[in-house]
């Protein structure tokens, strides 16, 4: 079952266009990032590609991978239906529950990133359209999961639930980092309320350092490959 879940989650999170908002991390914990340039590590759009690599966002970036997202998520529906046919009820429910836990995270974060990207990143208009496409794919997938398996999925997560999700990652660095976050004042960092826009600042060069990309893979996606 673990191999099946791994397959499903890979289709769920690759490709994934994202950025890490600096606002979720307490200033007192920034030292955990060591030598990584936090001004380019956070609030910078990157693409977690099908090849398992973190790709720079620049002219000619492989955004077209995101067009495959609905198809990849459709494959997950078919795989879950196949598993439902061969697993007993308790084992399938356990698999579905673990998958839904992952899906909730991506539905919520993809929506939040689309709605708030202008407050965190300086991007071209077409990049924002890909964030919208990505969120639409996840929302439609959630709705199909609900329909096929007769369940309801709540995707209104709090900052604490987001951080708890990340804390379950086996990465020591991120586990320690988010483990020290208090409920307040970070609880509302991912709320759906409007956030006042700050004065735009000049963005530094995009992530090109291999160490930073490796850190992202290990801490966010638990992929050491």
The C-alpha atoms of residue 24 and residue 20 are separated, in whole angstroms, by 8
210 by Cβ neighbours in 10 Å (0-12 / 13-18 / 19+) ranks as exposed
Res 139: pLDDT: 97
The model's pLDDT over 152-181, given as tens digits with 9 standing for 90+, comes to 998 887 666 666 666 664 332 333 333 433
16 sits in which H/E element = strand 16-18
pLDDT band (50, 70, 90) for residue 11: very high
Kindly report whether the peptide bond that precedes residue 185 is cis, defined as omega within 30 degrees of 0: yes
Query: At residue 187, does pLDDT exceed 50?
Result: no
The C-alpha atoms of residue 145 and residue 153 are separated, in whole angstroms, by 9
The model's pLDDT over 22-40, given as tens digits with 9 standing for 90+, comes to 877 777 766 766 666 777 7
Residue among 112, 116, 130, 144 at smallest CA distance from 55? 130
Residues above pLDDT 90, as percent of the chain: 42
The C-alpha atoms of residue 168 and residue 188 are separated, in whole angstroms, by 21
Find the mean pLDDT for residues 191-209: 35
Res 4: pLDDT: 96
Query: At residue 127, does pLDDT exceed 70?
Result: yes
Written as six digits, the tokens of 124 are: 């071209």
Give 34 or 82, the one with higher predicted confidence. 82
Give 60 or 194, the one with higher predicted confidence. 60
Res 171: pLDDT: 32
Find the mean pLDDT for residues 118-143: 93
Query: At residue 147, does pLDDT exceed 70?
Result: yes
b/e string for 169-197 if b means 16 or more Cβ within 10 A?
bebeebeebbeebeeeebeebbeeeeeee
Written as six digits, the tokens of 224 are: 């050491």
Query: At residue 207, does pLDDT exceed 60?
Result: no
- Give the 3-state secondary structure of residue 203: coil
Res 13: pLDDT: 93
Residue 36 contacts residue 58 (beta carbons within 8 Å)? no
């Amino acid at each position: 079952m673990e191999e099946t879940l791994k397959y499903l989650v890979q289709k769920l999170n690759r490709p994934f266009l994202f950025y890490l908002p600096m606002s979720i991390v307490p200033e007192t914990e920034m030292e955990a990032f060591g030598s990584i340039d936090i001004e380019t590590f956070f609030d910078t759009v990157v693409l977690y590609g099908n090849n398992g690599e973190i790709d720079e966002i620049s002219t000619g970036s492989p955004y077209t991978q995101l067009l495959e997202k609905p198809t990849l998520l459709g494959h997950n529906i078919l795989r879950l239906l196949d598993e439902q046919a061969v697993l007993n009820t308790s084992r399938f429910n356990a698999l579905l529950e673990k998958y839904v836990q992952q899906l909730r995270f991506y539905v919520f974060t993809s929506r939040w990133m689309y709605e708030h990207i202008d407050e965190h990143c300086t991007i071209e208009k077409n990049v924002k359209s890909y964030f919208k496409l990505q969120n639409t794919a996840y929302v439609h997938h959630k709705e199909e999961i609900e329909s096929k398996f007769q369940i309801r999925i709540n995707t209104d997560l709090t900052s604490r639930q987001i951080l708890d999700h990340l804390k379950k990652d086996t990465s020591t660095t991120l586990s320690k980092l988010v483990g020290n976050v208090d409920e307040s004042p970070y609880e509302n960092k991912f709320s759906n309320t409007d956030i006042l826009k700050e004065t735009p600042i000049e963005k530094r060069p995009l992530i090109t350092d291999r160490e930073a990309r490796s850190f992202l893979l290990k801490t966010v996606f638990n992929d050491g490959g």
